[in-house]
């Protein structure tokens, strides 16, 4: 039996989809994984979008953003998680995980928001100001709507990073889809290990599709990429 | 009326963009600020709506200091058009035009209704209203930019090189359109350009600025061409200024002589009879000029004169443009550009009424000089 067949076998085995006698099934692990993932993304959005918008609008502190983002991207997530759990205690492992995932997501959204606002055509901003928009009106009515494609792009990237990184929860005795990977490795049940990895990938792709759909709905048709004939597609 | 009183703009690095500028801009007229790069023309314009704050001096609009109200409130009462239009990419054409009325608290439906009217005013078809700026041509975008600036019906319109990024033919259209609009609306327009031809075409008065932000000359276009105050203005106004100055002189004194014409469909033999000096003008059924035929052209034809076998004509000299004679420049250009050396004169309907020669234009010019009609 090759690896694809055994993974298929594992994924389609009804026993793996049920939670019984202390053995946790796929649906519950999936729910745990999502439970770990959405709060950090939300916190990152609440932190990074206002900050990125402010820095992008004023143009002050752009260099700080770039270097901070680079520092955070170099963080070893697993090491940070273990360090936090050791210092905070195992009871607060979920909080430690959330902190790590916020640290993963925030720089991405911050960089995307900053770049999005900064890249709005200066002539458009000049026109907005010259027509008598106040600074907050320029930010809310002109800069942010035009930055939306980049902001949502960075949000998608951050969500993907969080979903894949959330697998390390299993290392500190938490659940989530990473459980299958870690347990599979420990017990040399490679079908379980590979099956868990496939589930994480499928979840990431599903979230990506949902967020792309949201982006299509909320971004102005005037900002959509031009098609081959050089004219934007409009509903 | 907009008044600059000893206005100076000095940047932090010490550069002086505008130096003690005194300028009075008349109501209901187009005033053009023109000059080479670095002359402070755009800075001067942008100080009027406080996009740039003056370092010293005072700017008054209708007698009121522009600093007496918040910048945003001031700007909502002044139309602003920039190069490349600066339309909002995320908003439809209609919502772009409705921007300022909405900022001023007009209801959305009312603002959009007004925006629809303005699109018609600037010569855009109503089906463009729902498009986005990226779907428009450069010329169309610029028209939307003008409509947007006019939306709240401001008395003053600031235009910062609005037509410099479009091709020459579209630019010409936009300039004509602006003059037509202005004849209906009578706004106080301050227009910045680096193109002296544009300044002379559009301006009721033209302020020529020199590098370092000093006013070199402030005069009507005709005066500027006839009497530049110094070498800088003379060289900036250009080499053909004597010829271009003829554009401001009426050609009412130019003698219009009869011209031989042949209608399309005239048999070749009859057409040959009508040639004078080797040429005859070909006209259509309504008497409008199509071009010229000569002995040589006729010898290549078998039966009758056709619309396609003509030598293309030169520019036309309108004898009557809404009650006024055309300019000496139009008359002279018609004569110089015609293959027969006869400038075709046309009436208000475009029908041929006669022809002018370069000699007759120069004679009329000499007469006008003697009579003191030419500023000198």
Q: CA of A232, closest CA in chain B: separation in Å?
A: 7
Per-residue confidence band for A228, with pLDDT thresholds at 50, 70 and 90: very low
For strand B317-318 and strand B343-346, is the pairing parallel, antiparallel, or unpaired?
Answer: parallel
Contact across the interface for A123 and B88, Cβ inside 8 Å? no
**CB-based burial, A84-97: b 16+ in 10 Å, e otherwise:** bbeeeeeeebbebb
Distances B131 to A116, A170, B153 between C-alpha atoms, Å? 23, 52, 23
Instruction: Look at residue A235 and tell me whether its pLDDT is greater than 50.
Output: no
- For B203, phi and psi rounded to 5 degrees? -80, 135
Q: Domain containing B150 — which CATH number?
A: 3.40.50.300
CB pairs under 8 A between A and B: 80
Residue of B nearest to A142 (CA): B88
Question: Does A229 reach chain B within 8 Å, measured CB to CB?
Answer: no
Q: Is the distance from CB of B31 to CB of B207 less than 8 angstroms?
A: yes
Q: Are A45 and A55 in contact (CB under 8 A)?
A: no
User: Per-residue pLDDT tens for B92-127?
Assistant: 999 999 999 999 999 999 999 999 999 999 999 999
Tell whether B146 is within 8 A of chain A (Cβ): no
Band (A4; pLDDT cuts 50, 70, 90):
confident
Q: Which of B206, B221, B248 is the last residue of a domain?
A: B248
What's the pLDDT band for A74 if we cut at 50, 70, 90? confident
User: What residue of B is the nearest CA neighbor of A123?
Assistant: B86
Of B77, B82, B91, the CB nearest to A123: B82
pLDDT, average across residues B339-353: 86
Does residue B148 sit in the same domain as residue B28?
yes
Return the half-sphere exposure (C-beta side, CA atoms, 13 A cut-off) of residue B224.
30
Coil vs helix vs strand at A168: helix
Mean pLDDT of B26-42: 93
A134 interfaces chain B, CB cutoff of 8 Å: yes
In a domain, B256, yes or no: no
Nearest to A79 by CA among A168, A17, A173, A150: A168
Sign of CA dihedral B71, B74, B76, B81: negative
For residue B175, tell me if it sits in a domain.
yes
Distance CA A24, CA B253 (A): 104
CA A49 to chain B, closest CA, distance in angstroms equals 19
CA distance B326 to A71: 73
In the three-class reduction of DSSP (H, G, I as helix; E, B as strand; rest coil), residue B265 is classed as coil
Same domain, residue pair B86 and B235? yes
Contacts of B26 (CB under 8 A, 6+ apart): B1, B188, B204, B205
Domain shared by B121 and B163, yes or no: yes
Looking at B198, B214, B248, the residue that finishes a domain is B248
What does the pLDDT read at residue B272? 85
Question: Are B133 and A222 within 8 A, CB to CB?
Answer: yes
pLDDT of residue A86: 93
pLDDT of B163 above 60: yes
3-state percent breakdown (helix, strand, coil) of chain A, nearest 5: 80, 0, 20
Domain identity same for B319 and B222: no
Q: Residue B188 pLDDT more than 90?
A: yes
Fold of A3-223: MetI-like fold (1.10.3720)
Decide if A232 and B134 are in contact by the 8 Å CB cutoff.
yes
Question: Which residues in B lie closer than 8 A to residue A130 (C-beta atoms)?
Answer: 49, 51, 75, 80, 82, 158
How many other CB atoms are found less than 10 A from the CB of residue A73?
A: 13
With 0-12 / 13-18 / 19 or more C-beta atoms within 10 angstroms meaning exposed / middle / buried, residue A196 is buried
Of B76, B82, B158, the CB nearest to A132: B76
How many domains, chain B? 2
Strands B56-61 vs B64-65: parallel, antiparallel or unpaired? antiparallel
Q: Do A220 and B89 touch (CB under 8 A)?
A: yes
- Reduced 3-state DSSP string for A15-79: HHHCCECCECCHHHHHHHHHHHHHHHHHHHHHHHHHHHHHHHHHCCCHHHHHHHHHHHHCCCHHH
Measured between CB atoms, does B358 come within 8 Å of chain A?
no
ipTM field: 0.84
Q: How confident is the model at residue A233 (pLDDT cuts 50, 70, 90)?
A: very low
Contact A130 B51 (CB under 8 A): yes
At B209-233, the pLDDT tens digits run: 998 889 999 999 989 988 899 999 9
**Are B94 and B191 in a shared domain?**
yes
Structural domain includes residue B253: no
The DSSP symbol for A225 reads P
Contact residues, chain A, for B131 at CB < 8 Å: 234
Instruction: Yes or no: say if A195 and B107 are a contact pair by the CB < 8 Å rule.
Output: no
- Helices A93-118 and A62-73 cross at an angle (nearest 10°) of 140
Is the pLDDT at B340 greater than 70? The verdict is yes
Same domain, B236 and B278: no
> Among B248, B277, B302, which residue terminates a domain?
B248
- B267 with B194, same domain? no
Q: Is residue B242 a part of any domain in this protein? A: yes
Specify whether B96 is located in the same domain as B226.
yes
Please tell me whether residues B326 and B295 are part of one structural domain.
yes
For residues B265 and B241, state if they share a domain.
Answer: no
- Tell me the backbone φ, ψ of residue B2, rounded to 5 degrees: -110, 125
Within-domain flag for B184: yes
Residue B324 has pLDDT above 70, yes or no: no
- Residue B42 contacts A, CB cutoff 8 Å: no
Cβ pair B51:A123 closer than 8 A = no
pLDDT(B322) > 80: no
Arithmetic mean of pLDDT over chain A: 90
Q: What's the pLDDT at B321?
A: 60
**DSSP state, B119?**
H
Candidates B166, B98, B106; CA nearest to B129 is B98
User: Percent of chain B having pLDDT more than 90?
Assistant: 53
What percent of chain B shows pLDDT beyond 70? 98
Is 50 exceeded by the pLDDT of residue A40? yes
Is A226 at the interface with chain B, CB within 8 A? yes
Test the A interface: residue of B42, B88, B133, B137 with most A CBs within 10 Å: B88
pLDDT mean over B279-285: 88
- Give the domain extent around B306: 261-370
**Could you tell me if B159 and B102 lie in one domain?**
yes
């Amino acid at each position: 039996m090759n690896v694809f067949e055994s993974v298929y076998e594992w994924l389609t085995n009804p026993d793996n989809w049920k939670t019984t006698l202390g053995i946790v099934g796929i649906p519950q692990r999936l729910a745990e994984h999502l439970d770990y993932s959405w709060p950090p993304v939300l916190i990152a959005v609440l932190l990074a979008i206002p900050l990125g918008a402010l820095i992008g609008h004023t143009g002050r502190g752009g260099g700080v953003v770039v270097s901070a983002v680079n520092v955070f991207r170099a963080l070893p997530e697993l090491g940070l998680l273990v360090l936090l759990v050791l210092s905070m205690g195992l009871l607060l492992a979920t909080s430690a995980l959330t902190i790590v995932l916020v640290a993963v997501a925030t720089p991405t959204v911050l960089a995307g928001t900053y770049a999005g606002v900064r890249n709005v055509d200066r002539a458009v901003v000049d026109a907005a100001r010259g027509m008598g928009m106040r600074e907050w009106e320029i930010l809310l009515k002109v800069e942010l709507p035009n930055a939306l494609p980049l902001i949502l792009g960075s949000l998608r990237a951050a969500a993907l990073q969080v979903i894949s990184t959330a697998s390390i929860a299993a290392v500190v005795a938490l659940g989530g889809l990473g459980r299958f990977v870690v347990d599979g490795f420990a017990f040399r049940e490679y079908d379980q290990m590979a099956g868990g990895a496939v589930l994480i990938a499928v979840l990431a792709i599903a979230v990506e599709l949902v967020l792309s759909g949201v982006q299509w709905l909320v971004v102005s048709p005037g900002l959509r990429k031009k098609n081959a004939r050089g004219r934007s597609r409009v509903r | 009326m907009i008044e600059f009183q000893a206005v100076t703009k000095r940047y932090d690095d010490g550069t002086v963009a505008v130096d003690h500028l005194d300028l009075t801009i008349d109501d209901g007229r187009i005033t053009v600020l023109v000059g080479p790069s670095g002359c402070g023309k755009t800075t001067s314009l942008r100080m009027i709506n406080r996009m740039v704050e003056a370092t010293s001096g005072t700017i008054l609009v209708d007698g009121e200091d522009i600093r007496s109200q918040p910048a945003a409130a001031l700007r909502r009462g002044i139309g602003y058009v920039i190069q490349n239009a600066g339309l909002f990419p995320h908003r439809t054409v209609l919502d772009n035009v409705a921007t300022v009325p909405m900022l001023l608290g007009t209801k959305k439906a009312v603002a959009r209704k007004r925006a629809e009217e303005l699109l018609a005013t600037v010569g855009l078809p109503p089906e463009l209203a729902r498009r986005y700026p990226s779907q428009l041509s450069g010329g169309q975008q610029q028209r939307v930019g003008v409509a947007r600036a006019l939306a709240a019906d401001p008395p003053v319109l600031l235009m910062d090189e609005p037509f410099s990024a479009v091709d020459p033919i579209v630019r010409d259209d936009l300039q004509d359109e602006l003059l037509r609009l202005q004849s209906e609306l009578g706004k106080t327009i301050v227009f910045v350009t680096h193109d002296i031809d544009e300044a002379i075409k559009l301006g009721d008065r033209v302020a020529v600025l020199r590098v370092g932000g000093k006013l070199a000359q402030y005069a009507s276009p005709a005066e500027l061409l006839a009497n530049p105050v110094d070498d800088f203005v003379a060289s900036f106004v250009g080499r053909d200024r004597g010829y271009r100055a003829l554009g401001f002189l009426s050609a009412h004194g130019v003698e219009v002589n009869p011209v031989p014409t042949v209608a399309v469909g005239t048999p070749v033999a009859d057409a040959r009879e009508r040639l004078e000096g080797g040429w005859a003008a070909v006209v259509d059924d309504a008497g409008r000029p199509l071009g010229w035929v000569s002995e040589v052209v006729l010898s290549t034809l078998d039966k009758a004169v056709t619309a396609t076998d003509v030598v293309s004509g030169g520019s036309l000299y309108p004898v009557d443009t809404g009650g006024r004679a055309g300019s000496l420049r139009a008359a002279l250009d018609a004569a110089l550009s015609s293959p027969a050396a006869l400038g075709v004169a046309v009436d208000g309907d475009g029908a041929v009424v006669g022809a002018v020669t370069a000699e007759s234009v120069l004679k009329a010019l000499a007469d006008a000089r003697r009579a003191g009609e030419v500023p000198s």
